[in-house]
Chains A and B, each alone.
Chain A
Amino acid sequence: MQKKAPMIFRTAEEGRDEADLARITSECFGPVTPRTLRKWMHHEKKDGSGQDRFFVAEVDGKVVSSVSVAPRKMHFGEGVYLKTLGILGVCTCSEYRKKGIATSLLQQALAYADKTGFSNTTLYTVILIPAHRVYLRLGFQDIERTTRYVKHLDYDYVFRRWVRWLNHYLKHSNIAQKTLQNWNHSVIFNLGNEGIKAFRFRNGRFQRLSKPPRNADIIINTSVESLTHIMAGAYEFGANVLENAVKTGQIQVQRGSESDLKILNKILVGVWDE
């Protein structure tokens, strides 16, 4: 019989866990340095609502998952503010996902909430990720989605920045690296008035192309507005944002196989978990 790896749940310690926490946080949310993590651990809310606390799961002496909590006071009407425990930074190393580690950590955080006198807990999450289902199972309910009004004044810069961000993210995400293994493709976005934007993925890196390639693997005709909508995850489209955007006519696929479009969907939306 295979022996189970020893697992410990504990509170994170300053001076010991910053590097590990930065590693797993970077994998889930994009690049974060240990220095920033130290700041977060030190961070006492200046509005007096208390200090954030990190819970971590350790397997074989390595921190593989973390959840942090922060006390807040939220307006419930009639000028009454109730204490609420905010849950944030829920992340697990890609190789340790789907083992119930984050669920156990969250249960610990909820027990902490009860022990410290909080009647309720709150959090912000992303709908398309598996964690959302975990939260629903643990008794959370959706309250309100976020809306954003956006105006691009220099879309060329926005696109360049996005490609740079993709490379930063890729550096830390094992799942993204695995998904993109051997995926050497070029993509063209025909953005109407905004012109043509193109990028390719080659040798493990995204590259913005100032000149669109002649034989791009994927060609998409759309508008800046629709592309921004898709990149933001466009809630009403569910998990297959790109596919549904095609169905509703927000984008037209001039060229591209179904499997390539599935990968492009992950690149655009930034959600890599199945």
Chain B
Amino acid sequence: MSKTQLEIKRMVRGDAEQLLKMHERFVQDYVGPLERNVKFYQRAARRKDGLRWVAANKKGQIVGYILAFHNKRRRLGVITEIVVDPSLDFVSVAKVLVEKVYSLLVEKGAATIQAPTTLNPKYSQIFPDMGFFKVEIQDVFMFATNNVPRFLGEIKPIITARLKKVQGWNGTLELRCREHSVFFKKDGDKVQLYDWTNYDVDCRILMDEYTLAAVLLGVSDVETAHDDGKVQVETSLSKSKTKELLVNLFPKRQFLAFNFW
């Protein structure tokens, strides 16, 4: 989308619902973002520092937004969040928004401008061109599974949704982690959940909670984890079919977190 097709305007309270919907569509490709609500965007629009902008297309629909702030005392400008409708090219929309906010931050007298990300790889196509350099800082996001059966119970909807999309495989699947299991029976596009079954399981996937978290949060590639023996599969399926099933169940997702807490 070219610059001329975009209108850049200030974020207003009335945009909140549209922004929330776009954020929800955007995060589908990522794991890690925290849940948002309309109030978050209403509050963001209310701030008077003039560093919240949206990009709209010719029809007036919002296709992207940027959030930034300026710390006057530290003369520090921080671009906290860039979200673009996933159906559009991220870089072309984001670049226009970043340029707008960048010029405003310069006007406000920022001595340093930062754009932290954990971790949007597309930033590398925007910021280096504008004279920014990349710094890997010491901060790290950590995760722990405290209650394995509860965690398995919570991820059932995720596995169910992914299992529904699997083509050419029907049967009973067991996901086992530290002696705790969840069972799924797939028949066409229907998936039934069982707490326990004495059916013969067609495919049993075994891994510990660390590997489970790693493949869910996009840190590990499930195929590599399988090759390394961290993910074990007991099935009569062929090797290629097994890999296909694993990749469908645990697709590689990019970890991205905007909010630090």
Q: Which residues of B contact A82 (CB under 8 A)?
A: 154-155
Q: Which residues of A contact B154 (CB under 8 A)?
A: 82-83, 119
Q: Which residues of B contact A139 (CB under 8 A)?
A: 144-146
Q: Which residues of B contact A124 (CB under 8 A)?
A: 139-142, 260-261
Cβ-defined contact, A228 with B138, below 8 A? no
Q: Which residues of A contact B39 (CB under 8 A)?
A: 46-47
The digit string for A105-136, where 1 denotes a CB below 8 A from any CB of B, is 00000100110011111111111100010010
The digit string for B123-164, where 1 denotes a CB below 8 A from any CB of A, is 100011011111111111111111110110111011001100
CB distance from B149 to the nearest CB of A (A): 8
Within 8 A of A (CB), among B165-212: 210
Cβ-defined contact, A232 with B138, below 8 A? yes
The answer, yes or no, to whether B24 is at the interface (CB within 8 Å) is yes
**CA A125 – CA B117 in complex, angstroms?**
15
Q: Which residues of B contact A119 (CB under 8 A)?
A: 145-148, 150-151, 153-154
Given that A74-B34, A75-B30 are contacting pairs, would A146 and B140 also be in contact in the complex, using a CB cutoff of 8 Å?
yes
Cβ-defined contact, A144 with B34, below 8 A? no
**CA A169 – CA B33 in complex, angstroms?**
31
A-B CB contacts (within 8 Å), total count: 242
Q: Which residues of B contact A113 (CB under 8 A)?
A: 146
The digit string for B32-46, where 1 denotes a CB below 8 A from any CB of A, is 111111011001000
Kindly specify which of B107-115, B224-232, B233-241 makes contact with the partner chain.
B107-115
The answer, yes or no, to whether A80 is at the interface (CB within 8 Å) is yes
A positions within 8 Å CB-CB of B = 46-49, 70, 72-83, 86, 88, 110, 113-114, 117-128, 132, 135, 138-155, 157-158, 161, 225, 228-229, 232-236, 269, 271
